[in-house]
Amino acid sequence: MTAPSPSTAPHRWSLALAVATLALIGLGGLVTSTHSGLTVPDWPLSYGRLMPRMIGGILFEHGHRLAATTVGLLTIVTAVIFRREPRAWLRRAAWAALGLVILQGVFGGLTVLLKLPKPVSIVHATLAQTFFCLTVALAVWTSPLWKREPSVDADGTDIPLPHIALLLVASLYLQLILGATVRHTGHALSFHLVNAGLILLWIGWAFHRLSLSHAREKDLWAVASAIAAVFAVQCLLGLMALLSFLGPGWPAHPWSSVGWATAHVVVGALLLGLSIALALLSWRRFPGAFNTDRLRDYVSLTKPGITLMAALTALAGFLLASRGAVSFARLGHTALGTLLVSAGACALNMLMERDRDALMARTGDRPLPARRASPGEALFLGALLLIGGVVYLGALVNGLTAGLAAVTAAVYLYAYTPLKKISTINTLVGAVAGALPPVFGWSAATGRLEVGAAVLFGILFFWQFPHFFALAWLYREDYSRAGFAMLPVVHPDGRRTSLHAVIGALALLAVSLAPAFTGSGALVYTLLAALLGGALVVLGFLFHRDRTTQRARRLFLASVLYLPVLLTALVWNGMRP
């Protein structure tokens, strides 16, 4: 028998390892479905022996351990074979697989020794899928398809296929985590079903993209077709598994539910592996879809300054509402959800204003007017982040916070953005959207709205008047060229602009002192709020008296400094025992 050539050995071993891992995942699913996890109570031995009597649940649990040992040995052989691989990054990936399989074995032992704690069991299941993804990646990287020359993307006006494939991978990985949660806890079934609908959407989008620009890419078509076929089977298996557990008296034989559930796990892993192959091959064919410049443009689409400010003010609301008893897990969920919602809304705002941004010197170099990103990419990114953020807040924080976040985005996109072209009232409406993040930060901590949330809203609302009217005066010529109905454009003498800035600063001073009258403001905070607010009022009056660029810039910079200092003092005061 002739040994395989060195050039094909890594690929063959990687394929064998991927197939063995898929079988191991199936055996793990069988252990969970038959509740055999603790039929062998010790680890690493089984009843103190290498080979116990293979009866009942011991057959499944110890069989699973034997299969895991086989996969571990295969991984060692694969890592050794990859020592001759000329690509250093690929050698490191093979050794990473060895490290991951060892970690997976440790978690497998912990599930037994700790008597199947649900978090450890879920991590164990998730690590198995992660290891399988890496074995599939090794097989793809060593395959002949990877050696093909890259192509040029024929159509830059739509979302690149690698982006869609990456989204599909992320959704499928999340789906497997949700599936593990459902199997081990009985929770998150609704999210599991909703995410299945999103996966169907991404698969359809991938076919749409293939038909538009990659009709001759037979390999990509083959992988995508396999994904569609396997997804259809997976949906059927999921339905059968669900009916077998929920349907009264159905199926007749108890082993049917075990079979459906286990098959659902295996086919889900296969679907994830195919999506990894599609993502890697599409990236290989069109490497220009991913580069640092494009990533920088994507970040720019989210208006990082505005997005970060929204998250920080939401955190301020959360910390104040917590009154010292902070749930850091919920705090993190609130921060991430706020970042997602704000980033998505900002990307969609850039999409809606791209034509006018092209007319302004300040915004002309943004990704959309500069044509470094397509409208489809902005729509894709914005919708994904916005919807994902609202769903994230609803699932991991509370419904009130998700609703407030959705209202904030709606006001920003469907009221403020179109009003900028029509009426000077747009600033008032935009201030509402800008003042809501600390409110849903408050609701995230308490699940309700209170007087403190109203005070925070007032501070953020009135702060925007001196801040934005100073900015609008500095860029009034830009706004005029773009046709935006800003106050200094409609009333070019600037008296109304500066007057509104002064009124806003006075109202801000009054609202910022409200904690002193409600008994929640310490003397140090009250003095600092009076000092900062008074300085802003003085600068506002100076701007009103002498409407120069220098006066406007000083007021703007003072407003930028004002907010973080005041909120820090307010949070510090509220967190003190």
- In this structure, are residues 130 and 100 in contact, taking their beta carbons and an 8 Å threshold? yes
Q: Give the pLDDT confidence score for residue 280 in this predicted structure.
A: 92
Beta bridge partners, 46, equal: 49
Q: Give the pLDDT confidence score for residue 290 in this predicted structure.
A: 60
CA distance 211 to 207: 6
With vertex at residue 516, the alpha carbon angle to CA 515 and CA 519, rounded to the nearest 5 degrees, is 80
Q: Give the pLDDT confidence score for residue 253 in this predicted structure.
A: 47
Beta bridge partners, 49, equal: 46
With vertex at residue 401, the alpha carbon angle to CA 301 and CA 458, rounded to the nearest 5 degrees, is 80
* Long-range Cβ pairs for the range 210-217 (8 Å, 24+): 210/161, 212/155, 212/158, 213/153, 213/154, 213/155, 213/158, 213/161, 214/154, 214/161, 214/285, 217/151, 217/285
CA distance 234 to 124: 22
Q: Give the pLDDT confidence score for residue 530 in this predicted structure.
A: 93
* Cis, bond preceding 44 (omega within 30 deg of 0): yes
Cβ neighbours, 10 Å, residue 7: 10
Q: Give the pLDDT confidence score for residue 252 in this predicted structure.
A: 44
Q: Give the pLDDT confidence score for residue 254 in this predicted structure.
A: 53
Q: Give the pLDDT confidence score for residue 5 in this predicted structure.
A: 47
Q: Tens-of-pLDDT digits for all 577 residues of the chain?
A: 344 444 688 899 999 999 999 999 988 888 877 777 677 777 777 777 777 778 777 887 878 888 888 999 999 999 999 988 888 999 999 999 999 989 888 888 888 777 767 777 778 888 888 999 999 999 999 998 888 776 655 444 456 788 888 889 988 988 888 887 777 677 777 778 878 888 998 898 888 888 877 777 888 999 999 999 999 999 999 888 877 766 554 444 455 677 888 888 899 999 999 999 999 998 888 776 666 677 788 889 999 999 999 999 999 999 989 887 888 888 888 998 999 999 999 999 999 999 999 999 888 999 999 988 888 888 888 988 998 899 889 888 898 999 999 999 999 999 999 999 999 999 999 999 999 999 989 999 999 988 889 999 999 999 999 999 999 999 999 999 989 999 999 999 999 999 999 999 999 999 999 887 765 557 888 899 999 999 999 999 999 999 999 999 999 999 999 999 999 988 887 755 5
CA distance 377 to 383: 10
Which strand (E) or helix (H) includes residue 567?
A: helix 549-575
Phi, psi at 321, each rounded to 5°: -70, -25
Q: Give the pLDDT confidence score for residue 427 in this predicted structure.
A: 92
By three-state DSSP, how is residue 56 classified? coil
